[in-house]
């Protein structure tokens, strides 16, 4: 059924008279039920994408263990250390961006900055006296 709809919408192969009649019947039935073809196609495309992602092989626990062993063996290597630092910096940036999108977190962060600034100024003024 979906293939007929998709072919009709995409201008794919030429439909036989029987397929055209079937499409008209299905279109009529779906319109009576309040089904939008655009929504239907979007949902089907999303399902196809999800199915494709499920078909992709997932890293196994063995892969994770193997990577851990390799990582431990070379963790002192300067290139590995630098790559890990860059990874951690980017992770921190992303998490910070996500947190700052939350209004309550942002307010608490500003309050924290104010407290740090105030304490710093008080400490410096106390030392200069």
Per-residue pLDDT reduced to its tens digit, 97-107: 999 999 999 99
Cα(first)–Cα(last) distance of the chain, in Å?
85
Per-residue pLDDT reduced to its tens digit, 3-48: 666 655 665 578 889 988 998 888 888 888 888 878 888 888 999 9
**pTM for this predicted structure:** 0.45
Task: Please check the confidence at residue 108 and state whether its pLDDT lies above 90.
Answer: yes
**Cα gap 35→31, rounded to integer Å:** 6
């Amino acid at each position: 059924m979906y293939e007929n709809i998709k072919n009709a919408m995409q201008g794919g192969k030429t439909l036989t008279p029987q397929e055209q009649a079937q499409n008209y019947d299905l279109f009529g039935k779906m319109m009576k039920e309040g089904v939008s073809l655009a929504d239907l196609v979007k949902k089907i495309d999303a399902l196809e994408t999800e199915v494709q992602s499920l078909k992709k092989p997932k890293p196994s626990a063995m892969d994770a263990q193997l990577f851990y062993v390799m990582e431990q063996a070379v963790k002192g290597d300067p290139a590995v250390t630098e790559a890990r630092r860059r990874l951690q910096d980017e992770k921190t940036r992303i998490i910070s961006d996500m947190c700052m999108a939350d209004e309550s977190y942002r307010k608490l962060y500003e309050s924290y900055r104010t407290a740090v600034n105030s304490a710093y100024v008080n400490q410096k003024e106390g030392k200069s006296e």
